[in-house]
A and B are shown apart, each in its own frame.
Chain A
């Protein structure tokens, strides 16, 4: 299962991804569940959708939310698209971002 982060292809989001990967690695609950976390720029992400369960946008690309949701649907990926909380992104807090990711997946599943 993949958590896909989308931003401007900048360097900052990759820092967050590294922290999230580390948090997953250190959590006994998460580490062996095959969780993949990747960050891609907004020009590339649509080629990297395989196995994606949730797409998370950096706050600086929040206006892309509808477009990303549509592009993913066109490619056959009915996955939730959420904007990362400004404060969590700013402070690079991995755990709340991961919690938000799984919350989004669950909420999306409930909706059917």
Chain B
């Protein structure tokens, strides 16, 4: 085991570290995570539009929910219909923190760059077409959000193209003058770039980006691609690295775009195949109760004979309902524990496979919105509006308990042995003498 551990840490960990520290990926990760309030607002009209379909409801209920659906409909375009616009703003903001440029200036630049790239024009009337402002434009938002702020950063911090009004000028005015030229140059460079590329290829930039990312989108949307991502995620966790944070940028943009596609399918506007991979699929099926289905371990700990395990189980149970498994992860521990290596690696991929089969076979509905962050399993239940999710969820937990059980028993036996023999360091912090 030690040899194997050393081998892995030699090649895997440096790559993971690079991914985790990479400023662009960090901005993408944070920007995507910030979408939750936006999607929450956007889920309201989707819920109302689904309620009239519940069988056996009285006519007044159907009328009332249909009416509410119509009233709240504009909320949908303002959020889900412009999802990529928010992504551009958030990524621009978080990247400005990494590059230490003015946040407002960065947001202005990234939103402007995105709209330039993602707006199409009707060739006859010249009217603007905003169909790429939604989920399908997310990759364009990520790419040009980052590039535009990077150019801003180069002009502002590297080339110092700034106007300094000196002291005695109010800070907001000072700031905007400092960033005036960098913002303008960033946008001008991008618009020339857009014109050049589109003249040569004859394809709109936003569609070009969509094509460029289609291999990634296609592979993440397969069971194999997703299992590979989750497998690496688990491996990283085992080493004490936040595997979710490292791997999330790879699938998140695709997952958010997929919600849009599923919603269109349910609304009857699209005949595409249902997409399994969505944020709630990753949070509440593949990673429910925390990466590695920590909730299963938490249940085993609650039932354990070991006093230490039992108390960790009690401490962890509430966070588990919010999908946070760290106290189990570090309490058992799973981290760097050879006994837990195999079940830990398999747990999340197995859960994902169960969820994949359940959705792909049509047993349960796909996720059509991004569920609110409320104690599980209710957020995901709202996100798919199908009670059968609860069955699949229970199955995932049950299978995970069975998977962990034999390995957990070994860990428990060791814990009981060490609880019996107290050869631990018995000093406390009060015994430290400060003679240095």
Contact = CB atoms under 8 A, between A and B. Distances in A.
A15 B240 CA distance: 11
Contacts of A105: 436
Per DSSP, are chain B's interface residues mostly helix, strand or loop, or mixed?
loop
Contacts of B311: none
Contact of A12 (B13, B21, B330, B337): B330
Interface stretch (B39-47, B112-120, B367-375, B426-434): B426-434
Contact of B20 (A9, A90, A91, A106): A9
A106 B430 contact: no
A91 B333 contact: yes
Contacts of B427: 99
A43 B21 contact: yes
A86 B336 contact: yes
A46 interface: no
Interface in A63-112: 63, 86-87, 89-92, 95-96, 98-99, 102, 105-106, 109
B242 interface: yes
B156 to A, nearest CB: 22
B34 interface: no
A87 B333 contact: yes
A60 B240 contact: yes
B241 A10 contact: yes
Interface in A1-49: 7-13, 15, 23-24, 27-30, 33, 41-43
Contacts of A86: 336
A58 B331 contact: no
Nearest to B326: A15
A24 B240 CA distance: 24
A26 to B, nearest CB: 8
A60 B239 contact: yes
Contacts of A98: 429
B429 A99 contact: yes
Contacts of B332: 90-91
A6 to B, nearest CB: 12
B425 interface: yes
Contacts of A106: 435-436
Contacts of A89: 240, 335-336
Given A8-B17, A29-B430, A60-B239, A109 B436 contact: yes
Given A10-B240, A60-B9, A60-B239, A90 B17 contact: no
Given A89-B240, A92-B331, A8 B430 contact: no
Contacts of A33: 434
B33 interface: no
Nearest to A108: B436
Contacts of B429: 23-24, 27, 29-30, 95, 98-99
B16 interface: yes
Contacts of B435: 106
A7 B10 CA distance: 15
Contact of B330 (A7, A9, A63, A90): A90
Nearest to A59: B336
B245 interface: yes
A12 B183 CA distance: 37
Interface string B335-376: 111000000000000000000000000000000000000000
Residue with the greatest number of chain A CB neighbours at <10 A, chosen from B16, B240, B330, B336: B240
Given A29-B432, A90-B337, A42 B17 contact: yes
Contacts of A99: 425, 427, 429, 432
B80 to A, nearest CB: 30
Interface in B191-228: none
A7 B242 CA distance: 12
Given A8-B17, A30-B429, A89-B240, A15 B330 contact: yes
B20 A8 contact: yes
B423 to A, nearest CB: 13
B425 A12 contact: no
Nearest to B242: A11
Contacts of A15: 326, 330
A112 B142 CA distance: 54
A67 B304 CA distance: 43
B22 to A, nearest CB: 11
A107 to B, nearest CB: 10
A112 to B, nearest CB: 12
B308 to A, nearest CB: 9
Ranked 4 nearest A-B pairs via Cβ: A90-B333, A27-B429, A92-B330, A90-B335
Interface of A: 7-13, 15, 23-24, 27-30, 33, 41-43, 53, 58-61, 63, 86-87, 89-92, 95-96, 98-99, 102, 105-106, 109
Interface of B: 9-10, 13, 16-17, 20-21, 239-242, 245, 326, 330-337, 425, 427-430, 432, 434-436
18 contacts: A8-B21, A9-B21, A10-B241, A10-B242, A12-B326, A12-B330, A15-B330, A23-B429, A29-B429, A30-B432, A53-B436, A60-B9, A60-B239, A60-B241, A63-B9, A91-B330, A92-B333, A106-B436
